[in-house]
Amino acid sequence: MSLVGELVVLLVNGLQTGAIYVLLAIGLSIILGTLKFVNFAHGALYVVGAYIGLLITQQISIANGQLAEWGFPTLGLGWGFIAALVIVPPIVFVVGLAMERFVARPFYDRPDTDQILVTFGLAIVVQELIHALIGPRSYTYDIPSEIAGGIPFSGPVGVPLSAVTIDVWRVWVIAITATLVIAVYAIVEYTDFGLVVKAGTRDPEMVRLLGIRITRPYLVMFGIGAGLAGVAGVVGAPLSNINPEIGMTILVPAFLTVVIGGVGSIRGAVLGGTLIGMVQVTLISLGTVSLGSLSINFTPWAQVGIYALAVVVLLTRPQGLLGSEEVTA
């Protein structure tokens, strides 16, 4: 394979990995920036999206779950992936509103630690409910071949290279994410509704003082953030395995995206997610690099690299790359 070809694959994979983090980080970041609410159950929305999508897409056979014992050895609608793609986001949006209303809102006036604890508890309940009902095994999506395949990629005219293949679906994920992010960004930048949200990010104290009624825009933002997490669950699913634990494992890079990008900033989330995705994928693809007698295998460091990135950003720019300086006093 040629260098250009490899770089294109790298770029697509990195952007796609980052896209999932971006989708998750936007909701986290805005809620954190405006309501100062830390949602450890944000990953649970991702899991819920992934599993609902799974059950819409296909029929699954349940091996170790209670549902099998209760007379449902198979479950699912089998409507196909496109249906899941359309149906899941609004469902998770509603789930997000419910989460805001019944879990988050009663805790707005409680200390940060209580907010984290209660959402963490919720994340456990969701994870363990799925674990008990459907079982611990991993599932994969059946997706139509036209989006599952690869497209041969040949280089610019005149550059002789052997073709590489790019997963079509990865390109789709990037495109879908870009569209949604631009839409949310436009809402926040150019509507009255967004103006309130933005003002709140600048001056969270004011939002508190004005009381909960004015915060309706945030509730909608909470829902939108949840919907995006649900989207992440469905669009990310065909590229990975689905099991009850994915919510907690994805939460950490999602938080890091927020921390690196800067709390409350959509552009920051995009930058942070892209950086993390690229670092992770680059380290994986580097593989073993030999410099003379010294050879280092970078692949195992891929997971570590993103944390190192976060630590470096944090030590040099505590408010995140695009975050504003923290308001003290």
Ligand X SMILES: Nc1ncnc2c1ncn2[C@@H]1O[C@H](COP(=O)(O)OP(=O)(O)O)[C@@H](O)[C@H]1O
DSSP letter, residue 104: I
Give the position of tokens 């209760």. Answer: 70
315 vs 327, beta carbon nearer ligand X: 327
Out of 113, 293, 316, 328, the residue judged to bind ligand X by CB under 6 A: 328
Q: Residue 288 in 3-state DSSP?
A: strand
Q: Which strand (E) or helix (H) includes residue 172?
A: helix 168-190
Q: Per-residue x/- marks for ligand X, 288-327, CB under 6 A?
A: ---------------------------------------x
Token pair 């897409």: residue: 57
Joined together, the tokens standing for residue 162 give 């052997």
Asked if residue 209 binds ligand X (CB under 6 A), the reply is no
User: Which of ligand X, another protein, none has residue 73 at its interface (CB below 5 to 8 Å by kind)?
Assistant: none
In the chain, the N- to C-terminal Cα span, in Å, equals 57
| Beta carbons within 10 angstroms of residue 195's beta carbon | 13
Answer whether 1's CB lies under 8 Å from 152's CB: no
Q: What residues have CB less than 8 Å from 70, skipping those under 6 apart?
A: none
> Toward another protein, which CB reaches closer, 94 or 117?
117
Give how many residues touch ligand X by CB under 6 A. 3
Q: Which is nearer to ligand X, 146 or 326 (CB)?
A: 326
- Closest approach of Cβ 34 to ligand X, in Å? 16
248 binds, among ligand X, another protein, none (CB under 5 to 8 A by kind): another protein
Q: What's the closest the beta carbon of residue 329 comes to ligand X, in angstroms?
A: 5
**Is 189 or 203 the residue whose CB approaches ligand X more closely?**
203
Please report, as ranges, the residues that interact with another protein according to CB under 8 A: 32, 36, 38, 66, 106, 111-114, 116-118, 120-122, 124-125, 128-129, 131-132, 248, 252, 255-256, 259, 300-301, 303-304, 307-308, 310-311, 314-315, 318, 324, 328-329
CA nearest to 271, candidates 283, 281, 262, 284 = 262
Number of neighbours of residue 278 by Cβ within 10 angstroms:
19
Give contact residues for ligand X (rule: CB under 6 A). 327-329
